[in-house]
Structure 1
Amino acid sequence: MSKLLECVLDAHGGLDRWNQFSTVSAQIVTGGGLWALKGLIQDSAPRQIRAALREEFASVAPFGQPHWRTSFRPERVAIETLDGEVVKERRDPRSAFAGHAMNTPWDPLHRAYFNGYALWTYLTTPFLMAMPGFEVVEIAPLMEGSEEWPGLRVKFPPHIATHSETQEFYFGSDFLLRRHDYHADLAGAFPVAQYVDGMADVHGFKMPSRRRAYVRGPDQRPVRDLLMVTIDLSDYVFT
């Protein structure tokens, strides 16, 4: 494990402490321009996200109907009632995105799959980097204004569903996450610069309260007029 990754994990609460818990949940409010491009209506109602910490599982509720929720795993995504009755499901859900561009419409199961892997990634960062199969290397720092943010490039293992196989994470002088770069492979592979801030102390962990994902230009700068996804997070609970 690199020295930078050690410092990052310690700054966010420590790997030993992380391993004492099995799930995390939070309230989320989502917005941004991506949903309209996908033919979806995005309201400002709060929802609950629950994610496992040592396997890739996530669930969002409510979803579509007040008594429905999602159930996401890489090999299967479903919409189900709060009692667990399956409403709709899709096996091998990633294959359903073949040929998609940025403005290709999504159905509810497309959205449930995207939400599942994206939110799982966000809620488990940076500790997912210490999971088996992840390859992490230090990269050149990123200049943001007058600040220099050290970076890690992470290659995700094939069994983990995520935005793109390789992603970059940048950190402030306090080693807390500031920015997360990737390609949105399932939406035409457009490049993304996602800014992370509002770190809150939750059960000894540093967890963000705001994420803002912009289209990333060729100079690594965000295109501020193209705000694709916004996520406000609060009321974290670890169990």
Structure 2
Amino acid sequence: MTRLKDLAIEAHGGLERWQQFGQVSVDLVQGGVLWPLKGQPQTLERTTVTVGLKKQWASHAPFGADNRRSRFEPGRVALEAEDGTMLEELLDPRASFAGHTLQTPWTELQLAYFAGCAMWTYLNMPFLLAWPGTETEELEPWPTDDGDWRRLAVRFPAEIATHSTVQTLYFDVEGLLKRHDYDVEIAGNTPGAHIIEDYAEVSGIKFPTKRRIYARQPDGSFGTDPLVVSIDLSNIRLG
């Protein structure tokens, strides 16, 4: 049986093809109960995100009003004017979430950190399985109405800023990513089940264009109400 890590990377376009690119930009329409819960109902409702593929960085533009943009890196997050002038910055941003629960409001800089961290992870998956220091282990299959999904436990190295150190990926028989589980450490370790659908091929790479995130129960099940986050992606550009 093909190693699941290798099957997944090949199913999404292959590592050799992926490594020809340095960044990806995607137009986003986002919804769900998370954003108003965090006091940021419209800041990133419609925006474009660009993420790095060889280093960890991300930028959302516009970021709220006045054509601002964000700049996320693991150790720093900033808001910039349209001409690149820095307006605000936060160093060691993850430390600012100490003591947070799901209900704790976010500042704009904290929102920029969460959104940058999240979208960098999502858009680089499953190629992050080949990232230096990332460890994987295949788990027992997960039964679904469409047949069993193979599962992979992923442990990320400390230098990667992501939702949680250990996450679980679910793949269909072709090796396409269908579900992504994690605990959002910066929101009180809130457990999420992230459902992934509607793939499109861009420059030889397959990207899902529909993402829906729900609250995950201890047994791995989830309900669809409330819808925690919705992300619809379009106009995907690799460069």
- Counterpart of 1:214, as a letter, is Y
Comparing 141-150 with 19-28, greater Cα deviation is found at: 141-150
- Counterpart of 1:171, as a letter, is F
- Residue 96 of structure 1: aligned partner: 96
Give a deviation string over 1:167-199, Cα, whole Å, max 9, x none: 000011111010000001111111110000000
- C-alpha change, 1:110 and 1:156, in structure 2 (3 Å) is same
Aligned alpha-carbon RMSD (Å): 1.2
Deviation at residue 45 of structure 1 after TM alignment: 4.8
| Other structure's SS at 2:16 match | helix
Moved beyond 3 Å, runs of 4+: none
- Counterpart of 1:80, as a letter, is E
- Residue 225 of structure 1: aligned partner: 225
- Counterpart of 1:181, as a letter, is D
In structure 2, what is the Cα distance between the partners aligned to 1:120 and 1:144?
28
| Other structure's SS at 1:209 match | strand
Q: Which ranges in structure 1 are unaligned for 5 or more consecutive residues?
A: none
| Other structure's SS at 2:174 match | coil
Deviation at residue 146 of structure 1 after TM alignment: 4.5
| Other structure's SS at 1:197 match | strand
- Counterpart of 1:173, as a letter, is V
Verify the 8 A CA contact 2:93 2:110 in the aligned structure 1: yes
- Counterpart of 2:21, as a letter, is F
- C-alpha change, 1:191 and 1:143, in structure 2 (3 Å) is same
Verify the 8 A CA contact 1:8 1:175 in the aligned structure 2: yes
| Other structure's SS at 1:199 match | strand
- Residue 46 of structure 2: aligned partner: 46
In structure 1, what is the Cα distance between the partners aligned to 2:42 and 2:142?
33
In structure 2, what is the Cα distance between the partners aligned to 1:77 and 1:150?
36
Verify the 8 A CA contact 2:43 2:64 in the aligned structure 1: no
Deviation at residue 145 of structure 1 after TM alignment: 2.4
In structure 2, what is the Cα distance between the partners aligned to 1:44 and 1:82?
16
| Other structure's SS at 2:148 match | strand
- Residue 68 of structure 1: aligned partner: 68
- Residue 176 of structure 1: aligned partner: 176
- Residue 21 of structure 1: aligned partner: 21
The correspondence of residues 1-239 of structure 1 with structure 2, limited to 5 A, is 3-42=3-42, 45-239=45-239
- Counterpart of 1:159, as a letter, is E
Verify the 8 A CA contact 1:31 1:43 in the aligned structure 2: no
Number of positions where the alignment pairs a residue of Structure 1 with one of Structure 2:
238
In structure 2, what is the Cα distance between the partners aligned to 1:34 and 1:108?
14
TM-score norm. by structure 2 comes to: 0.96
In structure 1, what is the Cα distance between the partners aligned to 2:111 and 2:44?
16
Verify the 8 A CA contact 2:42 2:64 in the aligned structure 1: no
TM-score norm. by structure 1 comes to: 0.96
